[in-house]
Amino acid sequence: MAIALDRHNYDAIARAEATRRKGGWIVLGVALLVSLVWLAPFYYLIVSAFKSSTEYAAGHPLALPQGLSPIVDNAIRVWTDAKLGWGLVNSALYGLVGASVAVFVAAMAAFGLTRLDFSGRTFWFMLIFSGTVFPFQMYLIPLFFTYQQIGLLNTRAGMILFYCAICVPFPVLVLRNFMAGLNREMDEAARMDGANDWRVFFSIVLPNAKGPMLALFLLQFTWIWNDLLFSTVLGNTPEIRSVMNALQVFQGAYTSAGPNIAMTGALMASIPTVLLFFILRRHFMAGLSVSA
Amino acid sequence: MAQVSLRDLVKVYGRQPAVRGIDLDIQDREFVVFVGPSGCGKSTTLRMIAGLENISHGELLIDGQMVNDLPSRQRGVAMVFQTYALYPHMTVRQNMSFGLRLAGLPKAEIEERVARAVSVLELGPYLDRRPSQLSGGQRQRVAMGRAIVREPKVFLFDEPLSNLDAKLRNQMRIEIKRLQKALNVTTIYVTHDQVEAMTLADRIVVMKDGLIAQVGTPIELYEAPANQFVAGFIGAPAMNFFAGRVEAGEHDGLVFRSNAFDAVLPTGRFARLEIGRPVVAGLRPDDVVPVGHGVPPTGGIAATGIVILSEVLGGESQILLRLGEAEVMAKMSQPRPVESDERLPLQLNTDRLHLFDAETGASLRASADAR
Ligand SMILES: Nc1ncnc2c1ncn2[C@@H]1O[C@H](COP(=O)(O)OP(=O)(O)OP(=O)(O)O)[C@@H](O)[C@H]1O
Ligand SMILES: [Mg+2]
């Protein structure tokens, strides 16, 4: 016996549903306006990067460039004068090492806080958590003097150490919540399968926390990359300067160079984080939806 | 193949006891089911056996060896969890072989064991899928496969079927029973579904408030419950209870009198009866027979009930009746439609009456019978 499947014209129903959903032109308009405001600085940055210094000085700052070629000269100029290459290498080093170590340490801490039975768990969590409560700037001066005394000031090791430490508390907060939500029976099953604490951490919990860990890595990497305050105070010699610091020094030292060259430098300095985001975006989005 | 003995097993959380002292000997190859209301300590007991929970007091012996302080991997036990607890980032094959890989078994043996489990559980087509790509029943089978490949001495199940729909649950129940028969492994199974308990168990352990209320075969629990709690817990719909007292009857006999019915007590069925003693009588719905439906009891008494409501199940109807001043549930086989307030003639099979002490709830059955 056949069952009549086409009691209605389902295509028509679907189309009607879709048109009902649309509407909302006002919402769209407002959204467009907001994006314009938000995009204006980017526009300024891009057009400036394609202007030579004379062209920049002559025309309106928001005017379109006459050609594309000046960006090459600008890039060479900022690369050599600001030692941008070193800056990029340094920042990459600080960001990659700092963010990975911090997120990994945070994952271990979160595992301990959610899975292991030891006394004072809440106390330890609150202690770490307090690291996210106070403004970072508070650490600046004591850190400076301590670094000076023990000889870590203006060293790569000092910079890495600082970033590793400062980037731990926030991921602990996120990962603790995430791991608390992971099915506990899963690691009990692993324990019965013969896994010890380390094995449960590496083989069971860590692979399942990949999404939020990548998202956190990206956030912390970007924070380290963009950090100006600490990198200026703790690491201010030409060889160990971060890229942001190098750009700032360049702007101060070569005021004659003009904003177009600084903008080109800024553009170059932002490429790596954007690239990283594009490479990891799938995991990043997955991580966000998981932790939400 | 193993015997499991629980000796005065206790679990306290903080100062709160969850399991208050359990003694039980489980025979080799036996299928034991723990049932009881929510929070009575079934899972806690099972988790102590599994090694997932410390034992606060008492001893746990597997094959005569004290294992209190052995980690679970050395106890030779495997567990199937309620949520299946599969590793989401591993394929079915990896899920099943994880424990064997950790144990450092040779690759060939791992493959052989997995292959065997896969053929038993008919998981062949799914070996390279992740758990998220499987249906509930398939996940359940993978969880069982993961337990099987370890070739444990004892299988532990904690409500393994409660996440499945009714039809699949029946199917998996049969599959578990068959598997246990085929593998011949001592099995401890926790559920609060009494159909599962009755059908699967060699012996049922009924728990209440962290203690064992009764241990016995399904028939023993049904026919001779040791106390009112077990009587009310086993059997669906639940046993009818009537508060009343024992009084002197004709020919030196005893009668049970209540506001629902009076019945002569069969001689020899009960012990420790005293005249005037307050008791609770129990009568299963199967023993409240509407006249003309089902097998009429040979003994017993006639009565008339007034229909309050009826639930039609097809093959039978469950009818809630007013009997005297009490309410009673009756089972009508080969049912006919009944109306509210209809007067329904009944035969009460009082030969199968149960009596419980009104205070302690203990059964007053003669012990030879109550076993
Ligand atoms: N980790 C824990 N901390 C404190 N109390 C607990 C803990 N686990 C269980 N309990 C308590 O112990 C008692 C027994 O719990 P258990 O999980 O064994 O019940 P159960 O019989 O399995 O119930 P259910 O049928 O609902 O699964 C409950 O009162 C519960 O609240
Ligand atoms: Mg439970």
Residue B76: list chain A partners with CB under 8 A: none
Query: Which of these, B7, B150, B8, B1, lies nearest to B63 by C-alpha position?
Result: B1
Largest CA distance in chain A: 89
pLDDT confidence of A22, banded at 50, 70, 90?
low
Judge if A157 and A267 occupy the same domain: yes
Q: How far is the CA of B371 from the centre of ligand 2 (A)?
A: 29
Rounded Cα gap, residues A167 and A154, in angstroms: 20
Residue environment code for A70-104, b if the CB has 16+ CB neighbours within 10 A, otherwise e: bbeebbebbbebbbbebbbebbbbbbbbbbbbbbb
Between 3.40.50.620, 2.40.50.140, 3.40.50.300, 3.30.1330.60, what CATH number should domain B237-370 receive? 2.40.50.140
DSSP A195: -
Strands B154-158 and B77-80: parallel
Provide the pLDDT for residue B201.
96
CA angle B360, B363, B365 (to 5 degrees): 150
pLDDT confidence of A23, banded at 50, 70, 90?
low
Does the C-beta of B18 come closer than 6 Å to ligand 1? Answer: yes
Query: Which of these, A227, A176, A225, A173, lies nearest to A205 by C-alpha position?
Result: A176
Rounded Cα gap, residues A102 and A89, in angstroms: 19
Taking CA atoms only, the protein residue closest to ligand 1 atom 19 is: B39
Instruction: List own/partner pairs for A130-137 with CB under 8 A and 24 or more apart.
Output: A130/A169, A131/A166, A131/A168, A131/A169, A131/A170, A132/A169, A132/A170, A132/A173, A136/A166, A136/A229, A136/A230, A137/A229
Ligand nearest to the CA of B42: 1
Taking CA atoms only, the protein residue closest to ligand 1 atom 18 is: B41
Q: What share of residues in chain A are helix, strand, coil (percent, to 5)?
A: 80, 0, 20
Query: Which of these, A270, A281, A267, A161, lies nearest to A218 by C-alpha position?
Result: A281
Across the interface, whether the CB atoms of B99 and A203 are under 8 A apart is answered no
In contact, B143 and A183? CB cutoff 8 Å: no
Rounded Cα gap, residues A163 and A99, in angstroms: 7
Instruction: Please give the residue that has the higher pLDDT: either B275 or A103.
Output: A103
Helix axes B92-102, B136-148, angle to 10 degrees: 20
Taking CA atoms only, the protein residue closest to ligand 1 atom 17 is: B43
Domain of A42 in residue numbering reads as: 2-49
The gap between the terminal CA atoms of chain A, to the nearest Å, is 48
Judge if A212 and A101 occupy the same domain: yes
Judge if A284 and A187 occupy the same domain: yes
Largest CA distance in chain B: 80
CB-based contact, A193 to chain B, within 8 Å? yes
In contact, A88 and A269? CB cutoff 8 Å: yes
Domain boundaries of chain B, sorted by first residue:
4-229, 237-370
Taking CA atoms only, the protein residue closest to ligand 1 atom 24 is: B38
Judge if A45 and A160 occupy the same domain: no
Taking CA atoms only, the protein residue closest to ligand 1 atom 26 is: B38
Q: How far is the CA of B152 from the centre of ligand 2 (A)?
A: 22
ipTM value for the complex: 0.84
Does the C-beta of B192 come closer than 6 Å to ligand 1? Answer: yes
Residue B370 has pLDDT above 60, yes or no: no
Residue A290 has pLDDT above 80, yes or no: no
In contact, A197 and A138? CB cutoff 8 Å: no
Provide the pLDDT for residue B368.
47
B237 to A130, A171, B70, B329: CA distances (angstroms): 57, 54, 43, 8
Provide the pLDDT for residue A287.
63
**What average pLDDT does the structure give for chain B?**
92
CATH code of the domain containing A278: 1.10.3720.10
In contact, A219 and A175? CB cutoff 8 Å: no
Judge if A141 and A265 occupy the same domain: yes
Q: What percent of chain A has pLDDT over 70?
A: 95
Work out the average pLDDT over A169-178: 94
Q: Any idea of the CA torsion for B116, B176, B158, B229, to the nearest 10 degrees?
A: -160
Judge if A45 and A77 occupy the same domain: no
Say which CATH architecture domain B4-229 belongs to: 3-Layer(aba) Sandwich (3.40)
Taking CA atoms only, the protein residue closest to ligand 1 atom 8 is: B44
Judge if A147 and A45 occupy the same domain: no
Find, in chain A, the residue whose alpha carbon is nearest to that of B83. Answer: A185
Q: Quick: pLDDT tens for B110-149.
A: 999 999 999 988 898 999 999 999 998 899 999 999 999 9
When computed from its CA atoms, the radius of gyration of chain B, rounded to whole angstroms, is 25
For the CA of B46, the nearest atom of ligand 1: 18
pLDDT confidence of A289, banded at 50, 70, 90?
low
Residue at token pair 């099995």: B187
Does the C-beta of B44 come closer than 6 Å to ligand 1? Answer: yes
Residue of B46, B89, B97, B146 to mutate when probing chain A, most A C-beta within 10 A = B89
Which token pair is B52?
């997932």
The DSSP annotation for B199-249 comes to HH-SEEEEEETTEEEEEE-HHHHHHS-SBHHHHHHSSSSPPEEEEEEEEE-
CB-based contact, A194 to chain B, within 8 Å? yes
Give the gap in angstroms from C-alpha A123 to the nearest C-alpha of chain B. 19
Residue B258 has pLDDT above 80, yes or no: yes
Kindly list the strands in the beta sheet with B154-158, ordered across the sheet, starting from the edge strand earlier in the chain: B77-80, B154-158, B186-190, B31-35, B203-208, B211-216
CA angle B98, B103, B108 (to 5 degrees): 75
Judge if A36 and A138 occupy the same domain: no
Threshold 0.90, pTM exceeds: no
Residue B103: list chain A partners with CB under 8 A: 194
**What average pLDDT does the structure give for chain A?**
88
Work out the average pLDDT over B273-278: 88
CB-based contact, B173 to chain A, within 8 Å? no
Provide the pLDDT for residue A174.
93
Query: Which of these, A234, A211, A229, A206, lies nearest to A292 by C-alpha position?
Result: A211
Q: Is residue A57 part of a domain?
A: no
Give the gap in angstroms from C-alpha B157 to the nearest C-alpha of chain A. 12
CB-based contact, A116 to chain B, within 8 Å? no
Q: Is residue A209 part of a domain?
A: yes
In contact, B8 and B22? CB cutoff 8 Å: yes
Does the C-beta of B38 come closer than 6 Å to ligand 1? Answer: yes
Query: Which of these, A261, A246, A114, A266, lies nearest to A175 by C-alpha position?
Result: A114
Judge if A132 and A37 occupy the same domain: no
Provide the pLDDT for residue A288.
61
Does the C-beta of B42 come closer than 6 Å to ligand 1? Answer: yes
Provide the pLDDT for residue B369.
46
Provide the pLDDT for residue B236.
86
Q: What percent of chain B has pLDDT over 70?
A: 99
Does the C-beta of B39 come closer than 6 Å to ligand 1? Answer: yes
Q: How far is the CA of B192 from the centre of ligand 1 (A)?
A: 13
How many CA within 13 A on the CB side of residue B68? 13
Q: Quick: pLDDT tens for B167-210.
A: 889 989 998 999 898 889 999 999 988 889 999 999 999 999 99
Q: How far is the CA of B234 from the centre of ligand 2 (A)?
A: 18
Q: Is residue A86 part of a domain?
A: yes
Across the interface, whether the CB atoms of A191 and B81 are under 8 A apart is answered no
pLDDT confidence of A58, banded at 50, 70, 90?
confident
Does the C-beta of B191 come closer than 6 Å to ligand 1? Answer: no
Give the gap in angstroms from C-alpha A226 to the nearest C-alpha of chain B. 34
